[in-house]
Structure 1
């Protein structure tokens, strides 16, 4: 006969897991992307943007492209005013691909953003998938299949959004403003 306390412990663990998802707004007081000691190596840098080698590579090459300053927490907070930033991040992506893997097929490149906190219904939010609240673009060359499917899933827009889709969305927002 199962021990009720063990069952209660399992329920508590499940409850604790669900409660620790970012169902509500949580603030990160420390950003690892603002401390260069956490970088796996710098692949590109200019006055506004930096691209680093992801220390947890999901493919043959894996860069994170981000603004140096906290321009946005995640893609959910982007608006039409961010169009120039996204275009600059795309130029860095194209530069890195051209300089490090010329001739790579577009089908071998998986790039996009993890989804941030966004409303579901009546004050309830989807959990925040973004682990670091500093806007960053993942560019993965020849991704490992299981990571592409589960951690960076193009098929699941609740978790992941391609950079092309994000750029298109922000372009539409910019067009509405003008």
Structure 2
């Protein structure tokens, strides 16, 4: 896969913050996802593996994307291989999505940056829909600031004209759209939802 489509790590330094209040979610060894996790690069995220980890607790890990497509481009993943993609999410995953959103809001700076154009751009959060995702491990893209040229095309937001809070035909779905679709009992896919 070309580098500009990849979310895989590169070497850099970071800070780890431990959150002792998080729930400990561990696999019991009987899950099919245990086999997937042995092949998944995001199941082994660490600073030692070259990821620029900025936050981790027993449930979630946040790190900088190796090829940022905005001034700030983070990825937030479940520590365990809960699901491979946004397509597999169901209503019972809403608390996970909400936790990922809350962490994103905590990590994105709220103070204005030195650039007046960057500080006025709202935070954008969402997921790629397969086959347009590069790593088969649920990961939330979090953007703040201005997108790069490629970033504008790689992460388009499309809304539904027939369903408030629904999505259009884009391959990128916002965290709000995911929550609305799951809340109504729907599932995420490339078509309108």
Provide the C-alpha distance between the structure 2 equivalents of 1:38 and 1:115, rounded to a whole number of angstroms.
Answer: 26
Provide the C-alpha distance between the structure 2 equivalents of 1:106 and 1:154, rounded to a whole number of angstroms.
Answer: 18
Q: Which has the higher contact order (CA 8 A, sep 6+)?
A: 1
Q: Which of the residues 105, 127, 133 maps onto 1:130? A: 133
Provide the C-alpha distance between the structure 2 equivalents of 1:76 and 1:64, rounded to a whole number of angstroms.
Answer: 18
| TM-score, normalised by the number of residues in structure 1 | 0.67
Quick check: 1:73–1:135 contact (8 Å CA) kept in 2? yes
| Aligned twin of 2:173 | 161
Q: Which of the residues 24, 30, 41 maps onto 2:39? A: 30
Provide the C-alpha distance between the structure 2 equivalents of 1:39 and 1:51, rounded to a whole number of angstroms.
Answer: 13
Higher helix share: 1
Larger radius of gyration between Structure 1 and Structure 2: 1
Quick check: 2:156–2:170 contact (8 Å CA) kept in 1? no
Structure 1 residue runs without a partner (length 5+): 1-26, 117-127
Provide the C-alpha distance between the structure 1 equivalents of 2:120 and 2:83, rounded to a whole number of angstroms.
Answer: 27
**Over residues 20-60 of structure 1, what are the superposed CA-to-partner deviations in whole Å (9 max), with x where a residue is unaligned?**
xxxxxxx8962111222444311111110011111111111
Is residue 170 from structure 1 mapped to residue 182 from structure 2 by the alignment? yes
Provide the C-alpha distance between the structure 1 equivalents of 2:71 and 2:138, rounded to a whole number of angstroms.
Answer: 23
Task: Give the superposed CA RMSD.
Answer: 2.4
SS of structure 2 residue aligned to 1:173: coil
| TM-score, normalised by the number of residues in structure 2 | 0.62
Cα distance change, pair 101–172 in 1 and its aligned pair in 2 (3 A): same
Counterpart mapping for 1:112-123 below 5 A: 112-116=126-130
Is residue 84 from structure 1 mapped to residue 108 from structure 2 by the alignment? no
| Aligned twin of 2:122 | 108
Quick check: 1:39–1:52 contact (8 Å CA) kept in 2? no
**Over residues 131-171 of structure 1, what are the superposed CA-to-partner deviations in whole Å (9 max), with x where a residue is unaligned?**
10000000011132423321111147431111111111122
Higher strand share: 1
Is residue 147 from structure 1 mapped to residue 159 from structure 2 by the alignment? no
Structure 2 residue runs without a partner (length 5+): 1-35, 114-118, 159-167, 187-193
| Aligned twin of 2:4 | none
Quick check: 1:109–1:143 contact (8 Å CA) kept in 2? no
